[in-house]
Amino acid sequence: MEKLANEVTKEQLIADFNVVVADAEALLKATANQGGEKLAEVRARAEESLRVVKARMDDAQEALLIKTRAAAKATDEYVHENPWNAVGAAAAIGLLIGFLLGRR
């Protein structure tokens, strides 16, 4: 369950970071008409940093997708090989949730 929470957190982090990168790109485009040698230098460094970060995030997103697919495939194979174990686990989880909700 903790691993699933970490995966969701990673997905949220990737989505949030993509928004930040898009906002930074918009800011760089908005300041493109501004003059000054120092501003041009800072803008160039920021664009390079954004390019590197976007590449790393794309790699992280691809790795997350690969791990998610592998986990889904492993789960599917386990359920097909051990259907009664899966039914028992689902029933136990259902009973636990029912018990916890019934205590309210």
Q: What is the pLDDT of residues 23-40, one digit of tens each?
A: 777 777 777 777 677 677
3-class SS of residue 29: helix
Average pLDDT, the chain: 80
Domain count, the chain: 1
Q: Is the pTM of this model over 0.85?
A: no
Q: Among residues 15, 25, 19, which one has the least CA distance to residue 51?
A: 25
The end-to-end CA distance of the chain, in Å, is 23
Boundaries of domain holding 61: 2-102
